[in-house]
Amino acid sequence: MPRNGHPAKTQGLYDRIADVQNLAMKLNGYRESVANYLRSLNLDLGPNSLILDAGCGTGIVTMAFQDAGFHPRHLAALDLSFKSLEVAREQFTKREEYAHATSAVQSNVLSMPFADDTFDLVLMCGVLEYTPLDDGLAEAARVLKKGKPLVFLPVKPSVVGSVLELLYNFKTHKKAAVRTAAAKYFNIVGNYEFPITEPIAWSKTIFLLEKK
């Protein structure tokens, strides 16, 4: 894979499927599963905190974070796909309580338009399957403040993961590879599995990482 992934191809794919993708994610309970997980963490996020959802797609994880009851100063939702961001923005503006503190940013997760040590928490769900793992984690670490968490949800190598690789044209990373790459920039706080009764458990796992 080239060091910058295949951004034009990926952007084109998600520009085409944004509406369908958004509907599919609404139907499978993904948002609620992620919100429940985030609620279960003892996150110390004050009213001045800055949050980033990197590779936000149509904003499901951004909204899950808000559903979990957090009220940061600002949440930036970043993605390559203009159409996905348009769908995300439409949904964000309907959520009056949060709209003023949420923005949609078009950029590549490998070169984000933020200064070093900016964020108090970064969410990355299902995006580094499109990029070299090490480069994506390095960039997440760059924009995070020291000691702050990256909530990282990669797609699991599994039967479902293999089907998704074909459908979405990405490559899953082995858990061991995630651990090796993550350990360069993060302390690995935990690797959790969603309850098996929740559809997300078939495709995603969660690493809770803390910037060194």
Between 65 and 186, CB nearer to ligand SAM: 65
Between 58 and 147, CB nearer to ligand SAM: 58
24 phi and psi angles, rounded to 5 deg = -60, -45
Site string for ligand SAM, 4-43 (x = CB under 6 A): -x-x--x---x----------x------------------
Give the Cα separation of 108 and 78 in Å (integer). 8
Helices 30-40 and 60-67 sit at what angle, rounded to 10 degrees?
40
- State which of residues 80, 178, 181, 206 lies at the interface with ligand SAM (CB under 6 A): 80
Between 26 and 212, CB nearer to ligand SAM: 26
Task: Answer whether 132's CB lies under 8 Å from 3's CB.
Answer: yes
Q: Who contacts 131 (Cβ-Cβ below 8 Å, separation ≥6)?
A: 1, 4, 5, 109, 110
**Contacts with ligand SAM in 140-169 (CB under 6 A)?**
168
- As measured in angstroms, the least distance from the Cβ of 169 to ligand SAM is 10
Site string for ligand SAM, 82-111 (x = CB under 6 A): --x-----------------------xxx-
**Site stretch for ligand SAM (CB under 6 A), options 96-104, 127-135, 138-146, 179-187:** 127-135
For position 182 contacting ligand SAM by CB under 6 A, the verdict is: no
Give the Cα separation of 161 and 141 in Å (integer). 26
Task: Answer whether 199's CB lies under 8 Å from 29's CB.
Answer: yes
